[in-house]
Amino acid sequence: MNARRLVALALGLLPALVPAVACSSIPELTFDDGDGGPDAPAGDARTDAPTSDGTVPTPDGTAPDAGNCPAACSKCTNGACVITCPGAKCGSTITCPPGQACVVDCSNPNSCQNKRVECASGEACTVNCAANRSCDTLTLEANGGKLCVRCEGGNMACDAVTCNVDGGATCNKTCGGGPVSCSNTCAGCATTSACP
């Protein structure tokens, strides 16, 4: 049978199939949310829609780590406080909350310029400098924790950053950005290809 005959046969059968498909009943799916009340149709459930910060909620509808996320954080991910700069939580002094790791994301040019980051005592603290001069003249206080400065942005992403490492703190920096990504930055910190 040639291709023209197959197409003609398919087109001839199409009118007979459309009413059968249109009249078939598809059961409405529901879910049990455990509250004992009426269940909503599955099509109305929005538990997989991203939140305003782009994260996908957990099955109970909350953002990841939302119940344990201190007010000082923009969001919490995998138990770490994430502070996004620029942003509402990014003031002239950025103070990481006690008792958890902290990540400060300086994602735009000059977004952490002339700021001060106070890492939580004894906790891991990572500062991501992801644009031209994003961490220009930034001051970092390790406070006895493990400090990591990632200078991965454009030119001079970490120009003249001061890292105060005391009380048993360790410090590493990566310099993978533009031609002069770590000029005059954190003299006492080890330069590595990736922070541990």
Q: How far is Cα 88 from Cα 73, in angstroms, rounded to an integer?
A: 9
Q: Hey, which bits of 99-154 come out as E strands?
A: 102-106, 116-118, 125-129, 139-141, 146-151
- The answer to whether the Cα torsion of 105, 79, 101, 121 is positive or negative is positive
- The answer to whether the Cα torsion of 131, 132, 134, 140 is positive or negative is positive
- Pair 85, 105: CB distance under 8 Å: yes
Q: What is the pLDDT of residue 184?
A: 80
Q: What is the pLDDT of residue 159?
A: 85
Q: Residue 158's Cα: distance from chain center in Å?
A: 21
Domain boundaries, the chain: 3-191
Q: How far is Cα 110 from Cα 119, in angstroms, rounded to an integer?
A: 20
Polymer length in residues for the chain: 196
Q: Measuring CA to CA, how many Å separate 71 from each of 59, 77, 141? A: 23, 14, 20
Q: What is the pLDDT of residue 89?
A: 92
Q: What is the pLDDT of residue 52?
A: 43
Provide the token pair at 95. Answer: 């103070």
Mean pLDDT per segment of 10 residues, for the chain of length 196 residues? 49 43 36 43 38 40 61 94 95 95 95 96 94 92 93 84 87 78 81 80
Q: What is the pLDDT of residue 118?
A: 96
Q: What is the pLDDT of residue 66?
A: 54
Q: How far is Cα 187 from Cα 112, in angstroms, rounded to an integer?
A: 19
| pTM score of the predicted model | 0.65
Count of CA atoms in the C-beta half-sphere (13 A) of 174: 16
Spatial CA neighbour of 104 closest among 123, 68, 129: 129
Q: What is the pLDDT of residue 116?
A: 97
